[in-house]
Structure 1
Amino acid sequence: MRKSPFPIDHTLGLSWYISDQDGIGGRLKAEPEDFLVEEIAETPVPSGTGPYLICRLTKKNWDQQRAIKEIAGRLGMSHQRIGFAGTKDKRAVTTQYISIYKADPAVIQALVIPDMTIEPVGASEHQISLGDLKGNQFQISLADFELLKPDSDPQDILTGLSGGVPNYFGYQRFGVQRPVTHLTGLDILRGSYEDAVKTFVSTPSTGESGEYAEGRRYYAETGDAKESLHRIPVRLSLERSLLHHLVSRPGDFAGAFHAFPRTLRSMFVSAVQSWLFNRALSMRIEEGRGLDDPREGDRIVYPDGRSDIVTAGTARMAAMQVKRDRCRLAIFMHGSEPVEAAGPDDRNMAWLMEEEGITSEMFGTASTFLETRFSGAPRSILINSDIDIKKDENRMIFSFSLQPGQYATTLLREIMKTDPIRMI
C-alpha cells in the first residue's frame, strides 16, 4: 500500500492506495467525449402502459440536476415529476433512463435541447427511483499518460490490483475544487442551518475566477442575500436558489434547503455518511487489516443485501465465502438507528462520529427535516472489475462496468496516482 501525497485525498478520507506500483499519471475528461457512461437498467425497459413515460436520456456536459430542471422547464412541469436511477458525471457523455409522469411522447420527441437527446422507449406503472439500476458501463479515454517502457503491455499497469481496490466514495461525491457537500451536511446534522447556507454559498472553489469568488466573499462577510444575488453569477444556480428563498423569507435558513429537489438536498447528509465511511476504510487499511480477509467482528454483505457479523466460529466459513465471491467484507455506515459495535471497524466508526460530535439522533432529526430517510447500511469495502485496456499513440482507453454506488474515478485513481484535480 502507499499513502497519498495529495492533501485533498486526506481531507476526503481517501488516504491510501492499495498498490505500491507507480501510477501512469494522465488527465481524465480532457473532453466530455473522453468519459462515456451507459446505465445498465435493473429490469428490461417496460413496454406496457402506465402514467410514467420511460425515456432514454443522453446528455453531454450537463450537470444532472440542471438537466432535469431544464427538461421540466421545457415541459412546464415540476422537476419532482421526473425520476432517475442514478446521478451521472457532468463532464461526460452519459446515457440513462428517466421516468416522466404523464408526459406526451410526441412532445418529448419534439424537444430540442442543446447537447441532449430524449427518446421515449416505454411506459410503466411505477416511476424510476434512485437505485433502480444494475450498474454502469464505462469507456474512458485517458490523455497525457506515461508508461514505464514504450513497448509496455497496457495490462501491466494493473499489476498489484488483481485483488481489487478500496471501494472509496469518489471525488465527485464531495467535489475536488470545492469539497463542500459533506461540510454543508455536517452543519445540517448539527442543526446549524444558517451556517449550512453560508458554507454552501460562500466556500470558494480552487482557482475560482474573481467574479465568482467576490460574490461568495461578499455573502460570507455581510450575509446580505439580496445584494449577494446581484454579485453572484447566474451560473451558480444552486447558491442563488438558497439566496432567492432568503430574500422572500428573511431568516428562514432551514426552509431555504427545501428550494432544492429532495434528491439533491438528501445528498448533503448522505455525503457525511460517505465521508465517515472513507475515513473508516482508510483506518482499516492503515491498521493493516485486509480487504478480503474476514476476522471476528467484521461485517459481511451478500449480493441480495443480507448482512452478517463474523464470529470466531464462522470466520473460516466466511473466508471461504469471500474467496468464492459469494459475499464481501463491509463497513457499516451509521444512520438514524443506534448500532452496537461488533468489531474494529465499528469501533473506528464510533470514534469518528464522537470526534465530529455526530449521533444517530442527529440523523433522525435530519431525516425529518429533509424528508429523506438516513438509515444505516453496510457497504462493501472492495471494488473488483474486469478492465479492458487499449492504447494508441495519444490515448489509453479503459472499458469496464461497475455496480451501483461504485465510482470509476476510484478505480482509475489507483492506476493513475495523479493530482485529483486532473481527474474531474
Structure 2
Amino acid sequence: MIPTPYPLEEALGIGWYITDTPGTGGVLRKSPEDFAVEEIPLQEPSGSGPYLICRLQKRNWEHQHAMKTIASALGISHRRIAWAGTKDKNAVTSQYISIYGVEEAAVEELRIKDIVVRPVGRNQHPLSLGLLEGNRFAITIRDCTAADTAATVAACTAAAAVGFPNYFGLQRFGVVRPVTHLVGRHILQGDYEAAVMTYVALACPDEDEEVRRIRTEYRETLDAKAAIAALPRHLGFERSLLSRLAEAPEDHAGALKNLPPKLLSMFVSAYQSWLFNRVLSMRLADGVGLDDPVSGDRLLFENGREDLVTETNRRLVSVHLSRGRCAIAVFIPGSEGARIEGKSDERMAMILEEDGITAEDFKRAADFVGLRYNGALRPIAVKSEIQSGVLETDVSLAFTLPPGHYATTVCREFMKADPRAMI
C-alpha cells in the first residue's frame, strides 16, 4: 500500500493505493470513445403500464443536462424521467430510462445531437436508482509513460481479482468542481445559506477563469440578477438557484428547492460517500488489508445477511473472505443512527461529531430533499476479473462492476496519475 501524492484525492478521502507498483501514467478519456459504459438491466420491461422504458445512448453529455434536454424536446417536465444509474459525461454510454406518460412515436421522433433514445417496452413502475445488475466498461488509457507498462498492467490486473479500495470516485463529488459533499454537509447542518453559497459562489481552480470571476464577484456583492446575466447558459442549476434569490434574497431553502429533486438529494449522499472514503483511508493507513478481518469489522454476505468479526470467528471469516462468500464492509450512517461495533464505527462517529451532525440531522435533511437516508453497508473492496492489453503506449481494460462502484477507482490503481487526468 502507498499513499496518494495528490491533494485533491486526499481532500475527498481517497488516500491510498492498495498496489505499490509504479503507475502507468497516461490519460483517461482522451476522447469519449475511450470510456464506453453499457448498463446491465436488472429485468426486462413487463410490457404494459404508464412508464415507457427506453434505451438511452449518449456521447459526451452530462447526465442531468441530457435528461432536461430530452424532457424539453418532448415538451414534458424533467421530473417525469427516471433512471437506474447515472453515467459519466466524457464517455459513450448506454443505459435505460423510464418516461411517464409519453407515446413511443414521440420518442422515436426525437432528434438530439449525440443522443439516441429507443423505446424497448413499458412498465407499471418507474426505474429507480440502484435497480440495475451492473455496468460493463471498455476503457483505453492513452499515452502511458511507465518504464515497463506491461509489468504494471499485469500486476494490477492480478491485484484486481483480490480487490482495490472501493472508494467513491471523483465524479461523486463533482469533476470540475468537487463540492457536492460540502453542500451536503451544510444541508445536514441546516445552514442552507452556506449550502447555496458553496454551490454558486465557491470558485474552483479547474474552472474557466471567467466563471471563477463571476462566482467570486457574486460572493462579494450578492447581486443575484447580475450573476444570472453573467453566468453562461450551461450553468443552469446555478442560474436556477439565483433566480429564487433574485426574488427573495433570504430564501436560501427555497433556492435549493429550485434544483431537480435527484440533484438535491445527491448532495447529502455525496457527504455520506466522503465519510466512507475517509474511514476506509484511515483503515488502510493502519496497514490493515482489505481482506484482513479485525474484531468489530462488519461483514456483508452475498445474500444480504450481516454479521460481525469477533476474536472467536476470525479464522472462519478469513476462509469465507477467501472464497468470496462475504466482504468486510463499513456502515455509512443515516437517520437510523448506528451502533458502535469496531474501530471503523468509532471513526465514523468521530467525524460526525467533529461536523456536529447527528441522526436527527439526517432525518431533517431527508424531509427537506424528499429522500430517505437510512444508512447502509458498503464493501471496502471492489473486485473484478479484468481483461487487459498493452499496445505501444495504450492500455485497454474491460471489466464489469456492480452498481454503485466506480470504474475510475479501478483505473486509478493502474495509472496512479493526477485525478485530473482521469476526468
Normalising by the smaller structure, the TM-score range is over 0.9
Asked if the contact 1:280/1:345 (under 8 Å) is kept, the reply is yes
Native 8 Å contact 2:149 2:390 kept in 1: no
Instruction: String of CA shifts for 1:368-413, please: whole Å, max 9, x gaps.
Output: 1111111111100001101111232353211001011100000110
Matched, 1:279 2:278: yes
Aligned residues: 423
Distance 1:97 1:225 in 2: 37
CA distance in 1, matches of 2:150, 2:332: 44
CA offsets 1:330-378 (integer angstroms, 9 cap, x no match):
0000101121200111111111111222211111110111111111111
Matches of 1:369 and 1:149, distance apart in 2: 52
Over 3 Å counting, the alpha-carbon distance change for 1:298 and 1:207 in structure 2 is closer
When residues 382 and 150 of structure 1 are mapped into structure 2, their CA distance, relative to the original with a 3 A threshold, is closer
Which letter does structure 2 place at the counterpart of 1:20? D
Which residue of structure 1 lines up, in the alignment, with residue 47 of structure 2? 48
Q: How far is 1:126 from its partner?
A: 1.2
Identify the residue that residue 29 of structure 1 maps to in structure 2. Answer: 29
Counterpart of 2:254 in structure 1 is: 255
Secondary structure of 1:95 counterpart: strand
Question: SS where residue 100 of structure 1 aligns?
Answer: strand
CA distance change for structure 1 residues 239 and 275 in 2, over 3 Å: closer, same or farther?
A: same
Secondary structure of the corresponding residue to residue 143 of structure 2: strand
TM-score normalised over the length of structure 1: 0.96
Unaligned runs of 5+ in 1: none
CA deviations over 1:62-112 (Å, ceiling 9, x no partner): 111111111111111111111100110011010000011111101100100
More divergent stretch after superposition (240-249 vs 143-152): 143-152
Unaligned runs of 5+ in 2: none
* 289-298 or 49-58: bigger deviation: 289-298
- Could you tell me how far 1:227 is from its partner in structure 2? 1.4
Q: What is the alpha-carbon distance in structure 1 between the residues aligned to residue 5 and residue 149 of structure 2?
A: 26
Does 1:337 pair with 2:329? no
407-416 vs 256-265, which moves further? 256-265
CA contact (8 A) 1:176 1:420 kept: no
Q: For residue 247 of structure 1, report the CA deviation from its aligned partner.
A: 1.8
TM-score (norm 2): 0.96
Q: Supply the AA of the counterpart residue of 1:327.
A: C
What SS does the corresponding residue of 1:119 show, helix, strand or coil? strand
Letter in 1 for 2:48: T
Give the superposition deviation at 1:153.
8.6
Question: 2:292, 2:150 → 1: CA distance?
Answer: 36
Q: List aligned pairs for 1:23-422, cutoff 5 A.
A: 23-43=23-43, 45-149=44-148, 154-158=153-157, 160-422=159-421
Distance in structure 1 (CA, Å) of the matches to 2:404 and 2:133 = 10
Q: Please tell me whether the aligned partners of residues 28 and 141 of structure 2 are also in contact (alpha carbons under 8 angstroms).
A: yes
* Matched AA of 2:18: I
Mapped to 2, the partners of 1:159 and 1:107 lie a distance apart of: 48
In 2 relative to 1, CA 299–156 (structure 1 residues): closer, same or farther, beyond 3 Å?
A: closer
Q: Secondary structure at the match of 2:210?
A: helix
Find the residue that maps to 2:26 and give its secondary structure: strand
In the alignment, the residues of structure 1 paired with residue 61 and residue 162 of structure 2 have an alpha-carbon distance, to the nearest angstrom, of 35
* Equivalent-residue separation in structure 2 for 1:403 and 1:239 (angstroms): 32
SS at match of 2:86: coil
Whether the 8 Å CA contact 1:298–1:330 is kept in 2: the answer is: yes
Quick one: distance in 1 between partners of 2:151 and 2:414? 15
Identity %: 49
Q: Do the aligned partners of 2:153 and 2:414 also contact (CA within 8 Å) in 1?
A: no
Local SS of the residue matching 1:25: coil
1:8–1:176 CA contact under 8 A, matched in 2: no
Distance across 1 between alignment mates of 2:378 and 2:228: 40
Tell me, yes or no, if the aligned pair for 1:21 and 1:160 is still in contact at 8 Å. Answer: no
Q: CA RMSD in A?
A: 1.6
Q: Which amino acid aligns with 2:412?
A: R
CA contact (8 A) 2:21 2:155 kept: no
Q: Which moved more, 1:389-398 or 1:342-351?
A: 389-398
